[in-house]
């Protein structure tokens, strides 16, 4: 489906309004000494990886409602991410999950991605589900398993995933473990953690020299009493145990209620061990909802710490930006467009924080002024900046409106029918 070529005519009607909004905001910001061009180019360079497992309708144990026209194979998934990138110009990467998205024709997949100006970001292993014909079960753990066979099978799977990623140009592996217990006394915590550290070290030893390892933590689900890699501290400890190219991965939904995620981000950047993000939002648990749909101010505070860290922590590597969401009720592509918009807006607002004034107010213990400086940025309508960044790259002025005006979902249903089901969650 050719989207890109139809955008300039679609954008036409809104351009003059955009220009006046942009000029008005630019005047206000440049009068504060801020380089609006810099902000716009930083927004344009900010590329988020789309999870290949979140392009169909998600579901829960209570049910799943299809969305029709879902991508039925990897090629169609890449085409869908291509549509997102054409509209938003900020979705220039795909994050695959193996074995849900194991390519059959690597050259064709690479060519297709290049056609849509997409690259392959972190690749994800899966030792939380048993595969048909597998010799060992992960029911009692994978990298933490007491059963040598299950542990080795899980290590070998991760090394296979690295090999698949190498053929696609990925440069990082994300490991998330469901390993844990559902009842007290079910397993020995120390043995589980020791096994996990040993297994991760073996995977790290198989990592190509220019690759990174991301260790994702989560407090609970699918286990409901303990999870081996339960929090940022455990992930950091394991990353330090593995080596310089092992980092923690922060999934926003993987925190107990009222956790101060922005402080976790700040600490990990100071220690040079923040590898990347899985962006989403949540009200209660790992709800995997649209980014910024529940706690937009919290997202802004996280980006404020990220911007501070990106300016003051050269010890921390460039971050991997990824979405990790599941769509139970919204059109997956509309949901992802809203998430991409929320990420861009949070980043733009964070770039407007007057860091110099803020640190002066902090030194002066002027708590009220600190809040005023933060909220002045947060209360700024930055949409003209985000729009300009998109327009500069040939994207849609209003991606969601364009998606609907172009009848993308209807066209996908016409092409794919109503019964295709996307692999993934």
Q: Which residues bind Mn ion (CB under 5 A)?
A: 251, 278, 324
Binds 124, which of Mn ion, ligand LRH, none (CB < 5 to 8 A, cut-off by type)? ligand LRH
Query: Is residue 124 part of the contact set for ligand LRH (CB under 6 A)?
Result: yes
* Residues 342, 296 contacting (CB under 8 angstroms): yes
C-alpha 414/C-alpha 202 separation (Å) is 47
Whether the CB-CB separation of 91 and 340 falls below 8 Å is answered with yes
What whole-number distance in Å separates Cα of residue 214 and Cα of residue 415? 37
Rounded Cα distance, 325 and 339, in Å: 9
**Residue from 70, 121, 179, 216 in contact with ligand LRH (CB under 6 A):** 216
x/- contact string, 218-257, with ligand LRH (CB under 6 A)? x--------------------------------x------
Shortest approach of Mn ion to residue 216 CB, angstroms?
A: 6
Site string for ligand LRH, 328-367 (x = CB under 6 A): ----------------------------------------
**Residue 97 CB, nearest distance to Mn ion (Å)?**
10
* Nearest-angstrom CA–CA distance, 85 and 293: 21
Rounded to 5°, the CA angle 159-161-167 comes to 110
User: Which option in ligand LRH, Mn ion, none does residue 218 bind, with CB closer than 5 to 8 A by kind?
Assistant: ligand LRH
State the minimum distance, in angstroms, from the CB of residue 322 to Mn ion. 8
Instruction: For the CB of residue 344, give the shortest distance to ligand LRH in the complex, in Å.
Output: 22
Asked if 70 and 422 touch (Cβ cutoff 8 Å), the reply is: yes
- Among positions 38-57, residues that touch ligand LRH (CB under 6 A) are 53
Nearer to ligand LRH, 251 or 262 (CB): 251
Q: What is the DSSP string of 79-98?
A: HHHHHHHHHHS---EEE-BT
Residue 425 interacting partner from ligand LRH, Mn ion, none (CB closer than 5 to 8 Å by kind):
ligand LRH
Q: Residue 127 and residue 124: Cα distance in Å, rounded? A: 10
Strands, DSSP E only, in 152-296?
172-176, 180-181, 212-216, 226-227, 246-251, 274-279
* Smallest distance, ligand LRH to C-beta of residue 96, A: 11
Q: How many residues bind ligand LRH (CB under 6 A)?
A: 10
The tokens describing 178, both together, are: 């469901």
Q: Is 176 in the site for ligand LRH (CB under 6 A)?
A: yes
Position 179 contacts ligand LRH (CB under 6 A): no
Compute the least distance from the CB of residue 276 to Mn ion, in Å: 10
Closer CB to ligand LRH, residue 58 or residue 103? Answer: 58
Q: Closest-CB residue for ligand LRH?
A: 176
Enumerate residues 285-304 that contact ligand LRH by CB under 6 A.
Answer: 286
Residues 236 and 250 sit within 8 Å (Cβ to Cβ): no
How far is residue 417's CA from residue 140's CA, in Å, rounded to a whole number? 40
Residues 53, 312: Cα–Cα separation, whole Å? 34
Q: Please say which residue, 98 or 391, places its beta carbon nearer to ligand LRH.
A: 98
- First-to-last alpha carbon distance for the chain, in angstroms, is 25
Q: Interface with ligand LRH by CB under 6 A: which residues?
A: 53, 124, 176, 216, 218, 251, 278, 286, 324, 425
């Amino acid at each position: 489906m050719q989207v890109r070529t139809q955008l300039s005519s679609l954008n036409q009607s809104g351009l003059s309004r955009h220009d006046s909004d942009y000029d008005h905001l630019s005047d206000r910001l440049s009068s504060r000494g801020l380089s609006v061009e810099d902000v716009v180019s930083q927004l344009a360079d900010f590329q988020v990886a789309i999870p290949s497992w979140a392009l169909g309708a998600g579901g829960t144990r209570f049910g799943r409602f299809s969305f029709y026209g879902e991508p039925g194979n990897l090629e169609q998934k890449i085409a869908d991410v291509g549509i997102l990138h054409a509209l938003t110009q900020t979705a220039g990467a795909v994050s695959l999950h193996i074995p849900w998205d194991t390519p059959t024709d690597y050259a064709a997949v690479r060519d297709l991605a290049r056609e849509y100006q997409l690259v392959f970001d972190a690749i994800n292993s899966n030792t939380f589900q048993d595969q048909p014909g597998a010799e060992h079960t992960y029911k009692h753990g994978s990298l933490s398993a007491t059963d040598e066979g299950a542990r080795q099978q899980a290590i070998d799977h991760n090394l296979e995933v690295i090999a698949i990623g190498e053929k696609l140009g990925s440069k990082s592996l994300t490991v998330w473990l469901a390993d844990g217990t559902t009842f007290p006394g079910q397993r020995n915590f120390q043995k589980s953690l020791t096994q996990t550290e040993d297994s991760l070290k073996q995977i790290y030893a198989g990592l190509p020299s220019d690759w990174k390892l991301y260790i994702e933590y989560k407090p609970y689900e699918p286990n409901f009493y303990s999870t081996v890699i339960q929090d940022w501290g455990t992930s950091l400890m394991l990353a330090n145990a593995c080596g310089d190219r092992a980092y923690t991965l922060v999934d926003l939904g993987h925190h107990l209620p009222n956790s101060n995620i922005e402080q976790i981000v700040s600490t990990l950047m100071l220690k040079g061990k923040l590898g990347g993000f899985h962006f989403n939002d949540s009200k209660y648990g790992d709800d995997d909802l649209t980014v910024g749909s529940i706690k937009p101010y919290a997202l802004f505070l996280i980006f404020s710490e990220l911007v501070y860290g990106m300016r003051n922590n050269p010890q921390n590597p460039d971050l991997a930006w990824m979405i990790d969401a599941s769509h139970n009720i919204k059109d997956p592509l509309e949901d992802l467009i809203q998430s991409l918009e929320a990420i861009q807006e949070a980043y733009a607002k964070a770039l407007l924080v007057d860091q110099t004034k803020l640190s002066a107010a902090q030194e002066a213990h002027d708590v009220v002024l600190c809040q005023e400086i933060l909220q002045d940025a947060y209360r700024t309508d930055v949409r003209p900046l985000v729009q300009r960044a998109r327009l500069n790259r040939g994207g849609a002025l209003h991606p969601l409106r364009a998606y609907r005006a172009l009848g993308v979902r209807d066209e996908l249903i016409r092409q794919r029918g109503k019964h295709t089901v996307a692999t993934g969650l």
